[in-house]
Amino acid sequence: MKYRKLGNTGIEVSEIGFGTWGLGGNSYGTVDDNVSKAALRFAFDSGITFYDTSDLYGNGHSEEVLGDALHDVRDKIIISTKVGLLPHTGFDMPCDFSPAYIRQGLDASLRRLRSDYIDIYLLHSPTIGMLREDSAIVATLQDLKEAGKIRAYGISARSPDDCLASIQEFDFKIVQVNFNMIDQRAIENGLFDLAFEKKIGVIARTPLCFGYLTGKLHGNEVFEGIDHRANWPVEQLQRWAKAPDLFSFLNQGRNRTPTQLALRFCLDHKSASTVIPGMMNCNEVRENILASSLEALNAEEVARVKLIYESNLFYDKTAKQGR
């Protein structure tokens, strides 16, 4: 495992991080907590030091599982959690970023994580309008940092454009953003260039596009339990499911899986501090961590990925309408 600086925060993270959204049990189907804890422990033993969670995931259950699995090595890992996004189904995103809620949310997260501090505290999907209208939001985070309850703070933004604005208008030092082979908006809008220039820590989320870049999904799945992917129209899921075939030629003669190609693509962008694929079991951890040791994509391969991205419509902007 290789490690990178998280911008200029003074925090170092494993370049493959552990995304724990699925461990909550209410977004990627049902889970077995023992399997989840084994995966977390195997990840730590394999060199992963960065763990991303939220009080939303399983209404705090993801934090509890993480805390139970790794509390005895707390001083050896970096934990990022989030606050403000309230439980919901579908695409409506109710939230509460009042100072009282942020403070209460932090205390609850600390209890579940079995820790007395959070390394990175992220606002979970506020709109930029919310930040503009209420200066107390960022001020509260700064107060918590000065009190020693968090080491650093930032934003898990709704879009790359929101990430850009959060840096330009509010001087956030850490941003979490969607980025993968079929979603390169963070490059297109100049976010990655600005982050590199200003030494902003960038956490790349959805590197596998909800699992569709693994090549293991066909787009016609009937998801078990509560799974957020069931909110999307079948046409959109099939659009994502077809994507890996377009990139398969890049793996010909190479010993890497579609998953590892997708992760390697993200890692090869100098602005990315860490990439956080979701992992549900030890086998997924094992496959993902190997991407850190693989050879970087060459310039021609990167150009081919860009051309495929620009030549295809991977996301229908109307997919969320009426759902």
Query: Which has the closest alpha carbon to 317: 246, 228, 235?
Result: 235
If you average pLDDT over every residue of the chain, what do you get? 96
Q: Is the pLDDT of residue 323 over 80?
A: no
Lowest mean pLDDT among 85-99, 105-119, 287-301: 85-99
Predicted local confidence at residue 24, as pLDDT: 96
Cα–Cα distance, 19 to 274 (Å, whole number):
11
DSSP, residue by residue, 223-290: --SSBGGGGS-HHHHHHHHTHHHHHGGGGTTSS--HHHHHHHHHHTSTT-SEE--B--SHHHHHHHHG
Q: Is the pLDDT of residue 185 over 90?
A: yes
Here the tokens at position 175 are 């941003």
Mean of the pLDDT values across residues 141-164?
A: 98
- Rg over alpha carbons for the chain, rounded to the nearest Å, is 19
- Burial label, 147 (beta-carbon count in 10 A; 0-12, 13-18, 19+): exposed
Domains of the chain: 3-311 (3.20.20.100)
Predicted local confidence at residue 88, as pLDDT: 84
286: number of Cβ within 10 Å: 14
φ, ψ (nearest 5 deg) of residue 195: -60, -40
Predicted local confidence at residue 223, as pLDDT: 85
Here the tokens at position 52 are 């991303």
Mean of the pLDDT values across residues 210-229?
A: 91
Predicted local confidence at residue 39, as pLDDT: 98
